[in-house]
Amino acid sequence: MTAMWFERSRSGNAHAPLAALTLEELLAAAARGDEQAFAELYDQTSPRVYGMVLRVARDPAQAAEVTQDIYLEVWRQSARFDAGKGGVLPWLLMIAHRRAVDRVRSAQSSMARDDRYALLHEERPYDSVSEQVQISLEAQRVRKVLDDLTPAQREAVTLAYFGGYTHTEVAQLLKVPLGTVKTRIRDGLIRMRDALGVMA
């Protein structure tokens, strides 16, 4: 019962222009110390990374500092990327988001709770999403998928992702039980995953 699967060619040859390489190939080259490949990786991914960090940190100077730390970590960890657990971009954004929320949580830990909540209530994290956006077809698609969530799911997901709040904080902000927030976040993400057709 020998089975064949399709042979997939990987264009990892040294003559290919860097821009034609996949992120995975660029990262693999970076892992071998190829700084040019890493620069290309930076060029292809930094608007996603920096923009997200800026949205979470809200301060350009902090966002730049955190983004620099993120790419240094990506460079250091490049040989340890495990393609079996997902793509390069989700991996990179996972590192980035973790760093961004760590930064805002430690920066805000000294701020009084009430101030934080007041700050957030003035802001409308989801609506503000539409500003500054570079309108691309893909962004429009994600926007549509987010629009299709229930308002409660959308609010919980965006407060956690762009607001950098823990689910306990989200529950307090929305004045709903923690269990409800857990479910909204998970159900919202599952709907997004299914609608976006990301591989799971």
The nearer residue to other proteins, 115 or 194, going by C-beta atoms, is: 194
By the rule CB under 8 A, 29 interacts with other proteins = no
* Per-position x/- string for 134-173, each x denoting binding to other proteins as judged by CB under 8 A, each - no binding: x-x-xx-xxx-xx----------xx-xxx-xxxxx-x---
Cα separation values, 10 from 6, 31, 41, 87, 162, Å: 12, 17, 17, 15, 35
The nearer residue to other proteins, 42 or 116, going by C-beta atoms, is: 42
Q: Which of 48, 45, 27, 92 is nearest to 56 (CA)?
A: 48
Beta carbon of residue 165, minimum distance to other proteins (angstroms, whole number):
7
Cα separation values, 198 from 51, 62, 100, 192, Å: 21, 31, 24, 9
Query: Which sign does the torsion angle of CA 115, 117, 121, 124 carry?
Result: positive
- At 188, list the tokens: 């919202």
Beta carbon of residue 73, minimum distance to other proteins (angstroms, whole number):
10
92-121 positions binding other proteins, by CB under 8 A: 93-94, 97-98, 101
Out of 68, 111, 117, 124, point to the residue binding other proteins (CB under 8 A). 68
